Structure 1
Amino acid sequence: MKKLSALIIAFSALTTPIQLLAHCQMPCGIYHDDMVYDQVDQYVETMYKAMAELNSINLDTVKNQNTFVRWVFQKEKQSDEISKLILEYFLQQKIKPDEPDTAKKLELAHKMLFLIVGIKQNTDVAIIHQFMEVWDQFKHMFHREGYECKIETIKLKKWAEEAKELKEKQNQTNKDHGKASEQDTSHQDTETDKTDTDHAE
């Protein structure tokens, strides 16, 4: 009988409509917006770091290959954490229907979720920058005036410069390989011409 009563209470709690007011989807009234925004900022920073590392790791050793895989895992994990917060904290609770700015908030939320997919699929830090721009717009629609993003802008700038240098080095390496291939082809053509001439004689 006690078990039956407990099941009935649990079922009632799950099926009775309640007003979603906070992080836990209970009417507890507890919000820690600063903490949530700082969490997302940290996730973004980690994703940026992961992309920078993935673009620089040399896969010549098993240890480096292992590190590469771990950074991919971290990028995936942080992306999923952000998606979860956007869906469960903002879309399910913070964004209220029929408010004047609801449509704009939904648009920005969808943009972020769309960019998260791009972050998972790529290692281009430009996608992180796009996400950061949308995230800054989005969070300021909820937070008190004067809130400043906690992302370490100096560090991100440094990573951006490093990523740019890596890309330039990669482009130079590709050019060098291209020149080497052209020289090999030219050498082969010369040898072929010489062979044809010898046969003709």
Structure 2
Amino acid sequence: MKKSVGKQIAAVSILAVVAILASIAYSHCQIPCGIYDDEARFGEIAEHITTIEKSMKTITELSGQEKPNMNQIVRWVNNKDLHADELSEIVTYYFMAQRVKLPTEGDAKAQNEYVNKLTLLHQMLVYSMKAKQTTDLENVEKLKSLLNEFHKVYSSPSG
């Protein structure tokens, strides 16, 4: 009996370590590896926005039922929040920390482009936070608009 419990504890411990390491490995490395896929990140953000939108619609639908299933509502709220956090993670640790380059000192054009990119990314973070706080689909529309605008600015020849 003790060996069985010990094996279960060992298995759970190993699983926990693997889960932690997998989450660490998933986030981009922040070492100068030179391996970037900006378009994949834009696609991931778009998927997160779509999932947030579906979650909001489902939460609203479930909440309006005669006997709301609180378990399902909680699951969809958690799903919405998780995807908002993952969107914020990409914006912060991929684009802001690694991909948006500091402007050359004295280069006014580069400074303006830099501020524009940071402003758009910050707005995405704010609307991601607002999406966690409510089921207002206007926040999703704003995220879609900001993503498209940032994609254009970032992908421009001078971007």
> What TM-score do the two structures reach when normalised by structure 2?
0.71
Question: C-alpha deviations, 1:161-197, integer Å up to 9, x for none?
Answer: xxxxxxxxxxxxxxxxxxxxxxxxxxxxxxxxxxxxx
Give the corresponding residue for 2:100. 95
d(CA) in 2 for partners of 1:90, 1:115: 16
d(CA) in 2 for partners of 1:130, 1:81: 17
**AA matched with 1:85:** I
Give the corresponding residue for 1:81. 86
Deviation at 1:131, TM superposition (A): 1.2
Deviation at 1:129, TM superposition (A): 0.3
**Which structure's CA Rg is the greater one?**
1
Listed as ranges, the gaps of 5+ residues in structure 2 are 1-27, 104-109
Q: How many residues align?
A: 121
Listed as ranges, the gaps of 5+ residues in structure 1 are 1-22, 146-201
Give the corresponding residue for 2:67. 60
d(CA) in 1 for partners of 2:53, 2:133: 14
Q: How does 1:172-187 map to 2 (within 5 A)?
A: none
Q: Tell whether the 8 Å contact from 2:55 to 2:80 is kept in structure 1 after alignment.
A: yes
Give the corresponding residue for 2:4. none
> What TM-score do the two structures reach when normalised by structure 1?
0.57
Q: Tell whether the 8 Å contact from 2:117 to 2:154 is kept in structure 1 after alignment.
A: no
Q: Tell whether the 8 Å contact from 2:48 to 2:87 is kept in structure 1 after alignment.
A: yes
Deviation at 1:144, TM superposition (A): 6.6
d(CA) in 1 for partners of 2:32, 2:92: 18
Q: Tell whether the 8 Å contact from 1:46 to 1:75 is kept in structure 2 after alignment.
A: yes
Structure 1 vs Structure 2: percent identity of aligned residues? 31
Equivalent position SS for 2:35: coil
d(CA) in 2 for partners of 1:92, 1:85: 10
d(CA) in 2 for partners of 1:79, 1:139: 18
Give the corresponding residue for 2:11. none
Match of 1:24 among 1, 23, 29: 29
Q: Tell whether the 8 Å contact from 2:120 to 2:150 is kept in structure 1 after alignment.
A: yes
Deviation at 1:140, TM superposition (A): 2.0
Check if 1:34 corresponds to 2:39: yes
